[in-house]
Amino acid sequence: MAESTFFRMPVGGRPRRGYMTKVTETLRAKIMYGCGTVAYGVKDNAFLVFLLFYYSRVVGLSPELAGTALLIAMIADAITDPMVGQLSDNLRTRIGRRHPLMLASALPVAISFYLLWFPPDGLTQGELFAYLLTFAILTRVAITFYEIPSNAMLAEITQDYDQRVKFTSIRYFFGWIGGGGLAVFSYATFFAATPDYPNGQLNPLAYEDYALLAASLMFSFILISTLGTLRYVPYLVTGNAPKLVGLSSVVNNMWKVVTDRVYLPLFLNTLAQFGAKGIVFSLSLFFNIFYWGFSPAQIAILGLALLLGSALALVIAPAVSKGKLGKRSAAIRLAVFAAVLVPLPVVFRAFDFMPENGDPVLMYTIFIHLVVVVSAKIASEILVSAMVADVVDDNEVRVGRRNAGVFSAVQKFAEKSTSGIGLFVAGLIIGATGLEADMSAAEVTPEMLTTLAAYFVPTIMCFYIASVYLLTRFTLTREKHDKNIEALRTRAAE
């Protein structure tokens, strides 16, 4: 193939600032980089919202076995994340380190996800458990081969402090729109009520259409993003460290990343943040149905608040982190703001400051509250993710090796593992209240709701306080980042 300007590496192995501004920091580059997250958003939404319900209520697998299978799959996924990150960092090909894995993931992701929704008829409980476990693991691991390398590119496609926030904002936006948008569309079409199925989520045929559309979207957007960013490979920052050989050196490198003194506060912050998120998401159904008395139609409308909040975060994160404030201070302010707001409606209800259940004003109030909270929380997460990319540069200056893939994997590991902890804590809270998802409103006592609120507010605040404190321990500033980039460019030119 004839050499083109897109496949000519700049002198010194590290792109000059002018190259990155003109080539990789364009709107096209941001969209191509971010749009692949639609696949991850679709997968996440399916696993969080639909999969457990489908297997336990439609297929007939016991909820305990279904939950156990999904928990094991999540653990297996979290374990493979660092391995994929290390593999991506060590890979050397004509099309770079990230793109071979991203490209190879597209078909396995689509096939494994699609088959996940088609267990054969006549299986025993044990066989259904094995089927769900197998394809849940395959789906999670397959998409890891896309998500980890793709996320690692953030530290390589731009070295600019503010541009990294813009790239991450678009990435998060596509993830939320992909997952949330498909969910809203599915509720309105595939899972709409029919004469045979007043509750459309109990219709087995609906999941066939859902699975086909979801798998097609995942396959398409992975390919669009991978092929769309291929032209930027020669301009990605790679570093010149030798490959790691042997299991001991690989494990040692991963441990050094996890315990890196600059990164550690962000890692621990992610544990607290996503633990809180797991609690909030797990309890949201109980609050919406029992505490606020919302109908299924109203709950579906609340889903639009999540999409609107994610769209606002796309604008908020870059805007608040500009200038002297920087990512760290902006992330802290957003996290504090969200932490105060999250439990506020529950606290106000305890003091009779909220509208009564059934009052239309209550629905509007919770909708606006959700939009504001979600936009602040996502904007804070965007800034933390962009800060991790800055740590990659700082770590390379200090240790002489570029570990973008491993940092990406460790961050994902923290997100996934503590979401599970959040689910566990939420289960303890529900157990203490005596609430059950299939209860009728008449069966729920005021004491149950009081107990729910009494456990929820202090528990969630403990997670949020820890999260904010850990952000204050992060030390990497804009000025330090600029010095790191200059040091790396000088080193590459030597």
Angle ∠(6,8,12) on CA atoms, nearest 5: 130
Q: In this structure, which amino acid lies at residue 237? A: V
- The amino acid at 202: L
292/214 same-domain check: no
* pLDDT (0 to 100) of residue 257: 85
- What's the rounded Cα separation, in Å, for the pair 401 and 123? 50
Question: Would you place residue 5 in the very low, low, confident or very high pLDDT band (cuts 50, 70, 90)?
Answer: very low
Give the pair of three-digit tokens for residue 47: 């696993």
Closest CA to 76 of 148, 138, 146, 151: 138
- For position 239, what pLDDT does the model report? 66
3-state secondary structure of 190: coil
Confidence tier at 1 by pLDDT (50, 70, 90): very low
What single-letter DSSP state applies at residue 230? Answer: G
**Contact, 135 vs 116, CB < 8 A?**
yes
Q: Is 196 helix (H, G, I), strand (E, B) or coil?
A: coil
> Is residue 8 assigned to a domain?
no
CATH number of the domain enclosing 420: 1.20.1250.20
Residue 470 has pLDDT above 60, yes or no: yes
**How many residues are recorded in the chain?**
494
Residue listed under structure tokens 């939420």:
426
Pick the range with the lowest mean pLDDT from 242-246, 336-340, 394-398. 242-246
22 has pLDDT over 70: no
How far apart CA 378 and CA 307 sit, in angstroms, is 11
78/214 same-domain check = yes
Three-state DSSP class for 256? helix
Report the pLDDT value the prediction gives residue 479, as an integer from 0 to 100.
Answer: 93
Asked if the structure places residue 195 within a domain, the reply is: yes
Question: Of 22-31, 35-44, 348-357, which gets the smallest average pLDDT?
Answer: 22-31
Backbone angles phi, psi at 240, to 5 degrees: -125, 20
Average pLDDT over residues 307-333: 93
pLDDT at 262: 94
Q: What is the pLDDT of residue 437?
A: 58
Does residue 264 share a domain with residue 220?
A: no
Instruction: Let me know whether 224 and 332 are in one domain.
Output: no
Among 182, 204, 238, the domain boundary falls at 238
To which H or E segment does residue 228 belong? Answer: helix 204-228
Let me know whether 46 and 87 are in one domain. yes
Quick check: 231 and 52 in contact, CB under 8 A?
Answer: no
251 domain residue, yes or no:
no
Q: Does 354 lie in the same domain as 319?
A: yes
Confidence check: pLDDT of 407 > 60? yes
Q: Does 218 share its domain with 265?
A: no
Q: What percent of the chain has pLDDT over 70?
A: 91
Same domain, 355 and 480: yes
State the amino acid at position 267 in one-letter form: F
Grade residue 122 by pLDDT with cuts at 50, 70 and 90: very high
- Identify the domain boundary among 177, 204, 238: 238
Q: What mean pLDDT do residues 330-344 have?
A: 96
State whether 233 and 268 are in the same domain: no
Assigned domain for 115 exists: yes
pLDDT tens-digit map of 347-384: 999 999 999 999 999 999 999 999 999 999 999 999 99
pLDDT tens digits, one per residue of 145-169: 999 999 999 988 988 999 999 999 9
Q: Does 4 reside within a domain?
A: no
Q: Which domain holds residue 103?
A: 17-238
Q: Are residues 307 and 162 in the same domain?
A: no
Number of domains in the chain: 2
Orientation angle between helical segments 125-152 and 63-90, nearest 10 degrees: 30
Are residue 209 and residue 351 in the same domain, yes or no? no
Instruction: At 8, give phi and psi (nearest 5°).
Output: -120, 115
Q: Look at residue 277 in the predicted model and tell me its pLDDT.
A: 86
Q: Tell me the pLDDT tens digit for each residue of 223-252.
A: 999 999 999 998 888 766 556 656 677 678
Torsion sign (Cα): 293, 297, 303, 304: negative
Specify if 6 maps to a domain.
no
Residues 6+ apart with CB under 8 A from 343: 456, 457, 460, 461
pLDDT score at 7: 35
- Encoded tokens for 138: 């395959």
Decide: 218 and 224 in contact? Cβ < 8 Å.
Answer: no
Give the pLDDT confidence score for residue 483 in this predicted structure.
94
- The reported pLDDT for the residue numbered 127 is 96
Residues 294 and 401 occupy one common structural domain: yes
Decide if 269 is inside a domain. yes
Which stretch of DSSP H or E encloses residue 435? Answer: none
The confidence score (pLDDT) of residue 241 equals 57
Residue 273 lies in a domain: yes
- The percentage of the chain sitting over the pLDDT mark of 90, rounded to a whole number, equals 53
Cα separation, 305 vs 298, in Å, equals 11
Q: What average pLDDT score do residues 467-494 get?
A: 90
**Least confident among 9-13, 76-80, 436-440:** 9-13
Enumerate residues 6+ apart whose C-beta is below 8 A from 353. none
Q: In this predicted structure, what is the pLDDT of residue 435?
A: 75
The per-residue pLDDT of the chain, averaged, comes to 87
